[in-house]
Structure 1
């Protein structure tokens, strides 16, 4: 659930904006040619396989976990996300707020962090804010990070969806992670149909950055 492009959601990451009619547990698995998070590869431009479990209740409460391989060199080889929140809809306006913890169990040192997030949706559009809430203890700088994103998803053709995305990362943590600047923009477009997604992503971290492409396939199951 990391705004992932198995979406890996130009998303991402990934939350449901409707109150379920009954409690349910679902599972998901996916494979992607690359794992992008906020426009930056988490798998060193290699393939990624992921899977997760989700619980949602008729009250709007949800919780889940998601795991994927990553490639941070010798630093970490896989990521495990834990999240919980509440989602619903009032007079045609959807909302979603919660907390997500990004864990790296085999990391050299403590690089885990967590974010609180809040989103509003109307018709095809969603606006979401994510703010750093807990940070890794191994950091050498003041921890601060805000991610603001806007996405729009439109049905096109038969059983297909086009998603447009723009996001902005800012804060001291962004500078520490990228070594480039304390703020950058990422852009994305994806087309999804019958579990397949083809997407393009780009950032403005470097003026020479090329547009990068990925393809993914995912399945959901009711348990």
Structure 2
């Protein structure tokens, strides 16, 4: 997607938010730092630290919208990622449904905007389980359809301590446009331990992928975040 597409998407989202979001909507600011920004198991910062601010507006009726950002390093001049999203969450009797649209944008060099893409997402929550789907028809601007499917489960180890185990598959439907080391896809597994310490969320995660190149190496990811 080009920058003009981003502007159109954000304008449409803003107009829609004006309709669906009541005056008493809630704002949440989140600030996070991490030693390595992973996206489905792949480092977006060349294994270097990242600062990641986010701002979310919740309507109180299930609708929400927001922005999220991070520094990145793809080795070709792109330095910043800024994403916008618009979604809806509803809790049914036995499960929760989260569905929405995200717009990823990249900045730093003139060609950075060529990486921009949109992605539809859907997550089903039931008890301690989550099943998530992300689909883009123009993954990282290469024109190929791409799907990520993730299954995760959370375990409460003791009051205030949570362990999440997750497994996801990234799959390209058009290897001529986008491939993973010559293959259609790869797997990523994670174990993430987290706790709340005086309002700060501390987490430590072990990640591994079936990729062979360095950007998919096994990683220990540490992060600290705080919401206001």
Give the TM-score range, shorter chain. Answer: 0.7 to 0.9
1-structure distance, mates of 2:175, 2:71: 22
Shift of 1:73: 1.3
2-structure distance, mates of 1:103, 1:165: 26
Which of 132, 136, 155 in structure 2 is aligned with 1:128?
Answer: 132
1-structure distance, mates of 2:218, 2:75: 23
* Structure 1: runs of 5 or more not aligned: 1-21
> How big is each residue's C-alpha offset from its partner over 1:52-75, in whole Å with a ceiling of 9 and x where there is no partner?
100011210000000100111123
2-structure distance, mates of 1:107, 1:120: 37
| Residue pair 2:139, 2:146 contacting (<8 A) in 1 also | no
Please state if 1:213 is matched with 2:217: no
> In the alignment, what sits opposite 2:188?
186
1-structure distance, mates of 2:175, 2:103: 16
CA RMSD of aligned residues (A): 2.1
* Structure 2: runs of 5 or more not aligned: 1-23
Please state if 1:114 is matched with 2:118: yes
> Which structure has more helix as a fraction of its residues?
2
| Residue pair 2:66, 2:85 contacting (<8 A) in 1 also | yes
> How big is each residue's C-alpha offset from its partner over 1:140-166, in whole Å with a ceiling of 9 and x where there is no partner?
xx5110110011112222211111110
> In the alignment, what sits opposite 2:73?
71
> In the alignment, what sits opposite 2:151?
150
2-structure distance, mates of 1:174, 1:145: 12
Shift of 1:178: 3.7
Shift of 1:179: 3.1
> In the alignment, what sits opposite 2:9?
none
| Residue pair 1:175, 1:181 contacting (<8 A) in 2 also | no
Shift of 1:175: 7.2
| Structure 1 residues 62 and 174, CA gap change in structure 2 (3 angstroms) | farther
> In the alignment, what sits opposite 1:198?
204
| Residue pair 1:75, 1:108 contacting (<8 A) in 2 also | no
